[in-house]
Structures are given as C-alpha cells and as structure tokens.
Amino acid sequence: MINSSIQINKQIFRLALGALMFLVVGCGAIPKDRQTANPASIKEIAEGDAVNGQKLFMGYAHFENEGPPCMGCHSVGDNGLLGGGALGPNLTNTAVEKTDDDIIGLLSNTGIVISPVMRPIYTDFPLTPKEQADLLAFMKASVGEPEVDKEFWIYGISFAGVLGAALALGFVYRNRLRSVRRILVREAEKELQ
Amino acid sequence: MKVRSQVSMVFHLDKCIGCHTCSIACKNIWTDRPGAEYMWWNNVETKPGVGFPTQWEDQDKYHGGWELEDKPKNPQLKLKLQNRLQTLGNLFSNPAMPTMDDYYEPWTYNYGDLFNAPLGEDQPTARPISRVDGKPIEIESGPNWDDDLGGSNIYAMNDPLLQNMSEDEKLRLFSIEQLFYFYMPRICNHCLNAACVAACPSGAIYKRAEDGVVLINQDKCRGWRMCVSACPYKKTYYNWSTGKSEKCILCYPRLETGQPPACFHSCVGRIRYLGALLYDADQIPDATRVPDDQLVQRQREMILNPHDPEVIAAAKASGVPDRVIVAAQNSPVYRYVKEWELALPLHPEYRTLPMLFYVPPLLPVINSTQENGTQRVETELFTSLDKARMPVRYMSLTLAAGNDEEVLKSYRKMIAVRIFKRHETVGDVTAEEAAAALAEANMTAEEAEAIYRLTSIPTYQERFVIPPYSREGDIEEIYDPQQRKAEAGFGRQQAPQRGL
C-alpha cells in the first residue's frame, strides 16, 4: 500500500516536472527541424575548444540549434558576475567525477546515464558534436577551480532593490494623507495639558 | 438657452432638531450591506464641529472640489485634486484619501457572549467587535462623535471654518450664555458641476438627464476612488466588499414612483423640501468662474423662472416635458432659493454648483422681561453684527463663500417674518415695529405670510413636489415601432443602425 502510494507520488512528481519543463521550453522558440543528436566522436573530443566551450556555457555564443545556455542551471568555478544557476549540480569538477563517455552521453541524450531534466530540453534543441566536444573541453579545463557560492549577492541585491524602490515611492508619495483624526486628537490633547 | 430640469432640495436648518432619523432611514434602506457599514449617505453634523469624515471641509488636506486658476485673464477651472497626468501617476495610490479612522471603524457588540458565557461570579459583557475584521476593538470615534459639541475642546475647536475667524469671534462662539451650535444634515448635493464626475478615470459617474441625479455606474466603476478624494463634501464612499464606490442615489426608485426620498419622508422636523428647478445649462461655465463673493448670486441667476413664458418656450424646445415644467412652477425649492432668496448653497466656494440649499438656522425666540413684568420679543437683533449672538461670519463661511450680505439678507427676512407673525398672533409687537422689520428686510406682508405658511404649516404635497417620471412612456414615444418599418429591427436600449 505504502509503496504503491510512494510510487504514485513519484509519478506525479515526474509528471509535474515534465509539465514544468514543457512550460519552460514551450514558451521559448519552436525548433526549426527536429534533429537526432549525434554523440561527439573521439576525434572531435580531441579537437574540443575550451575557450569556445566557455562562451557556449555562459551564453555568450549561441548553440546552433538554439538550446538554452548551461549557465541557466549550472555553475562552474567563479564564472559569471553572480555565478550560475543553482538548479542543477555544480559542474566545476564533473570532468573528474564522470568519464568522457558519460558526459557526452548526457549532453547528447544517448548515454547510459541520462538527465531527466536535460533530456526533454535538449531533445528539441540538440547540441552538435562540435559543441559537445567544446563543452567537455571547458569542463576539463575548469577542474580544480574554486567553487564560489554567490547566492548571498543575489539576496543582497534583491533586498537593496526592494528597499530602494520603497524609499523612492515613499519620496514620491511623501505628501499623501495618512491620518486626520488621530493627529488632530493628539495635537489637541497636547495643547490641553 | 439650454434648459434642464434638476430635482433640488432645501433643508430648513432652523427646524432641524438633530434627531438623526433621516440617517437611520437611509442606513436601513441602502447601507446595511457588508462593505457599506461605515457609509452614511445621509448624516447629521453638529456645527461648529469637524463633521464626517473628520475635517472634510479642510480642502488643504483632502483636495476636494474645483479651484480657479490664479491668473487675471480668462482663468480656467481645474480640479484641486490633480490634472490628467497626475491622475495616471496616482492611479494606484490616490494620495488624498480619508483613512478608515477618519470615517470610523464600524463596530457591533458580541451579544452572543451575554447568553453563552459560562456561569461565573461576574456579569458577562458584550464587547465591541469590529465589523471589518471581527476582532475586538477599542471604540475611538464614531460617525457623529462630536454630536451636540461633545468633546468640543478637541473637535469643535478644530472646525476648519473657525481657522478663518478672529480669536474674539471664536471665543464668543464657545463662551457660556453665548454658546451657539446647530445641526446640519448632509446628503449628496447632486451638483451641476460635480467634481466626482470630472475626476473619475473610468467615466463611471454620470448625471441623469431627466432629473440631474448623480449616479455611479456599478458596472463601469473600477474602484480607483478618485471620486472619494475629488468630492469636496466627501459624499462618495468606497465599498471594500464590492470594490466599487457608492453614493447617495436620492432614492431614485422612490422618486420614479412618486415618493420622496426616505430621508425626506422620515424627517421628524419636516425640514426637507424637494422640487424641480429649471436652470440654464449654458451658464454653468460662467457661473463657476466668478469671484467668491458673487458665487451665490450667480448661481441664483442660472436658475430660471418657470412662470416666464420665454423660459417655458425654451424649456419645451430643450425637451423638458410639460408636466415637469408644471412641477417646477409649484416647486417649494424655487420659492426658497430664487423667489425669497432665503436658502443658500453649502460651500459654493468649491465651485461644484451644489443643488441642495440650506435655510440658515435662526436663534430661539429671545424675550426680554419688561418693567411691568411682561415678556417681550426682541425686535432689534440685527441692528449690528457685533451684537448678534448668531455668528453671521460662521454662517457666511458655510453657506455663502464668506459673503456676509447674502446670509444677512436671509436672516433679515426670517426675523421679519417672526416679528410680523408675533404681531399677528401674540400682539406684543406693535404694527409699526412689524412694518419696520418688513421694510428693513425689503419684503411685503404677503411674502412674509407665504414664507410663514411654507415654513411652519406646509402639507406633505407642498413640501414634496416630485416631477412626474415617465421613463417607459418616453421610451415608447421615442421608439415608435411604425418608424422602424423596413429598418434593421428593434432595440430596447440602443436603436439598431445600419452600417457602421
């Protein structure tokens, strides 16, 4: 009984996650032609360009099939002013933790290990073998870099923004009527004493 | 000349006893709904006092009404609240709103506790609970907190009108044996140049064509509450339950069935008069742009004589039904406002052209004991302004935009009528004295008699001359089905048309 309910819960969770992904992806561009992803060959991996990989990771360069940049969900080293996303795992040392095949498999959705989150996204917007190789090269290059957590910056900026907006609006509406009767009674009582 | 008919009102303050029956009649019919508990479409205030909401007359705070541009040549009227651009900027945060505390937090008592409390040493009590959130509250104020000058050294002393009076005048108002206060019932004035209509960003407020009643379309209202700020009389209210604003509707369902509004009908002192006035709508722009001291006179000039053949012809040409013209001829409001010039508009300086007029309150009969022990009515009350116990200055700030002469004119007539009738019925005033009083007020004995009759012994039909309504009939006349033959069909509200 309990097991089956957990099972159902898991299914519901997956369904909800799938729906969320559908929303996230569905709201973006409609893929031009659906292509089947090809995993990068050994030769291509060897030719991987870490600099271009970083650009692709951070979104400075576009993926050919318009897939979203990795940094939306992942962090690597101290790349980016406010770091990367916190949804997916930190990938700084992933090249050590996983084999090349596994990583290429994840990126192309063809491996033994497949990410349930990345699969629906990169099925519609597959990465080319060159891009996979470049990303792998970038991850290899970043091994050992310090993992910097910049979340407190995001909190700080949000807080300062809210405070600033409150102060600005408070200034704009500084002359609004707040209370008439209470002030009148307070002043009159002060005078009477 | 564009003649319009307006259902107008006169409140005879000299007869008001401050019983609040009008307020209760209104509350029971219209504002006993959730979200409307705090609203008093009709309320009665003690003056001097701060009123409801607190200090509503202080337009430096509330920014209600209109003001004239400060330039010598062709000054234009503009809303004191804001211009169109500011309306957009303030749309989500109206800066001149009275708070709930300035009205009052409506409350009830937890009566159930009286019956359901467990047996104990102490008497159970019914605690006051808020009708907004249902939690116990400390009652700090109510809709008529300063009734009969209650708490006067806090409330009455802070009446905004007193700020324009000298220390001496103020002192006399509140000193013993000189004390003066009166009651002022207030409803929506159904203004000719209503600021609420002009301020509404949704265009939800309109003035009915046939009788001039100002109404808020509940379908169009978006609850921006600009009318609440813009109305200088604070007579539109926001319903927090429906999210729309509401106001006095002059009981139009009653009017349309030939009955006076509930507050008029229930008035114990019979102070209220209702009748149609014909006015020239073309004169509205000019009438609102004269200097303060001419406002009352100019507003009277706008109101047309319904007996004048020229006016009758113009009214017919403007589409005023014949029966409404007859009603306007019999209107008690016309007599008080225009013929006798007794009744004055409330705060004409807001320049909204209010169509509710007040006859200023007079003193009780003042007698003096004579040498032979008899009583004698005082006849020389108005020989000088300084001697008058009644604060003419205060009345003129309330009813004539500071023009003392308008108020004095009214008072001279009222006191002359009193002396004249005293001579007739009691006889302790000589005929010469009565004639002198009439002469000073510049009136005839017939006029004095007519004022007396309509003031003291009017019948129900004389007080309320409700113009006949003929909504269904009018629609039938306009929509003659024969005219629609071979056209696009029938429509109840809007005539169907071909093309765009």
Work out the average pLDDT over B312-338: 95
- What is the per-residue pLDDT for B381? 57
DSSP string, A72-137: GT---TT-STT---SSSPP-TTHHHHS-HHHHHHHHHT-SSS--TTHHHHHHHSPPPHHHHHHHHH
Helix (H) or strand (E) segment spanning residue B409: helix B404-425
Examine the pLDDT at B105 and tell me if it is beyond 80.
yes
Please indicate, yes or no, if residue A84 is contained in any of the structural domains: yes
Any idea what the CATH number is for the domain that residue A41 is in? 1.10.760.10
Average pLDDT in chain B? 90
Q: Are B344 and B400 in contact (CB under 8 A)?
A: yes
Examine the pLDDT at B289 and tell me if it is beyond 90.
yes
Interval B138-189: pLDDT, tens? 999 999 999 998 887 889 889 999 988 888 888 878 887 778 899 999 999 9
* Terminal C-alpha separation, chain B: 33
User: Using CA atoms, how far apart are residues B349 and B164, in angstroms rounded to an integer?
Assistant: 14
- Comparing A171-175, B53-57, B385-389, which segment has the lowest mean pLDDT? B385-389
The ipTM estimated for the assembled molecules is 0.81
Work out the average pLDDT over B14-40: 95
Examine the pLDDT at B112 and tell me if it is beyond 70.
yes
Please indicate, yes or no, if residue A83 is contained in any of the structural domains: yes
Residue A188 Cα, gap to closest chain B Cα (Å): 5
Q: Compute the half-sphere exposure of residue A101: CA atoms within 13 Å on the CB side of its CA.
A: 3
Please indicate, yes or no, if residue A7 is contained in any of the structural domains: no
One domain for residues A163 and A82: no
Q: Are A182 and B54 in contact (CB under 8 A)?
A: no
Q: Are A100 and A136 in contact (CB under 8 A)?
A: yes
- What is the per-residue pLDDT for A1? 44
Return the percentage of chain B with pLDDT > 70, whole number. 90
Does the beta-carbon distance from B101 to A185 stay under 8 Å?
A: no
Does the beta-carbon distance from A179 to B157 stay under 8 Å?
A: no
Which domains does chain B show, CATH number per domain?
Answer: 269-465 (3.30.70)
- Set of chain A residues whose Cβ sits within 8 Å of the Cβ of B154: 184-185, 188-189, 192
CB-neighbour burial class of residue A117 (10 A; exposed 0-12, middle 13-18, buried 19+): middle
Examine the pLDDT at B236 and tell me if it is beyond 50.
yes
Task: Give the number of other CB atoms < 10 A from CB of residue B282.
Answer: 13
Please indicate, yes or no, if residue A99 is contained in any of the structural domains: yes
- What is the per-residue pLDDT for B316? 95
Q: Are B144 and B45 in contact (CB under 8 A)?
A: yes
One domain for residues A57 and A106: yes
User: Using CA atoms, how far apart are residues B9 and B11, in angstroms rounded to an integer?
Assistant: 7
Does the beta-carbon distance from B54 to A180 stay under 8 Å?
A: yes
One domain for residues A115 and A63: yes
One domain for residues A39 and A98: yes
Q: Measured between CB atoms, which of B93, B97, B158 is closest to A184?
A: B158
Average pLDDT in chain A? 84
- What is the per-residue pLDDT for A45? 87
Helix (H) or strand (E) segment spanning residue B395: helix B392-399
Please indicate, yes or no, if residue A6 is contained in any of the structural domains: no
One domain for residues A135 and A167: no
Strand-pair partners of B274: B9, B464
Examine the pLDDT at B6 and tell me if it is beyond 90.
yes
Please indicate, yes or no, if residue A17 is contained in any of the structural domains: no
One domain for residues A88 and A119: yes
Interval A147-169: pLDDT, tens? 877 888 889 999 999 999 999 98
One domain for residues A39 and A129: yes
Examine the pLDDT at B310 and tell me if it is beyond 60.
yes
Q: What is the DSSP letter of B446?
A: H
- Set of chain B residues whose Cβ sits within 8 Å of the Cβ of A175: 95
Task: Give the number of other CB atoms < 10 A from CB of residue B132.
Answer: 17
Which of B59, B152, B154, B158 to mutate against chain A (most A CBs within 10 Å)?
B154
Domain of A64? 31-141
Examine the pLDDT at B345 and tell me if it is beyond 90.
yes
- What is the per-residue pLDDT for B380? 63
Q: Is B205 left (phi over 0), alpha (psi -120 to 50) or beta?
A: beta
User: Using CA atoms, how far apart are residues A21 and A37, in angstroms rounded to an integer?
Assistant: 19
One domain for residues A49 and A86: yes
Does the beta-carbon distance from A184 to B141 stay under 8 Å?
A: no
One domain for residues A137 and A164: no
Interval A19-73: pLDDT, tens? 777 666 555 555 555 556 788 888 888 888 999 999 999 999 999 988 999 999 9
One domain for residues A121 and A64: yes
One domain for residues A72 and A97: yes
Does the beta-carbon distance from A185 to B55 stay under 8 Å?
A: no
What confidence tier does B220 reach under pLDDT thresholds 50, 70, 90?
very high
User: Using CA atoms, how far apart are residues B222 and B225, in angstroms rounded to an integer?
Assistant: 8
**Considering its fold, how many domains does chain A have in total?**
2
One domain for residues A124 and A159: no
Task: Give the number of other CB atoms < 10 A from CB of residue B171.
Answer: 11
- Comparing A99-113, A122-136, B162-176, which segment has the lowest mean pLDDT? B162-176
User: Using CA atoms, how far apart are residues B444 and A173, in angstroms rounded to an integer?
Assistant: 59
Interval B362-411: pLDDT, tens? 876 666 667 777 666 666 655 445 556 778 889 999 999 999 999 989 98
Q: Measured between CB atoms, which of B101, B153, B154 is closest to A179?
A: B101
- What is the per-residue pLDDT for A134? 94
Q: How far does Cα B94 stand from its chain's mean position?
A: 26
Work out the average pLDDT over A134-142: 93
Work out the average pLDDT over B52-64: 94
Residue B475 vs residues A147, B5, B154, B242, B485: alpha-carbon distances, Å: 80, 18, 55, 32, 17
User: Using CA atoms, how far apart are residues B147 and A54, in angstroms rounded to an integer?
Assistant: 78
- What is the per-residue pLDDT for B488? 61
What confidence tier does B486 reach under pLDDT thresholds 50, 70, 90?
low
B203 versus A10: the higher-pLDDT residue is B203
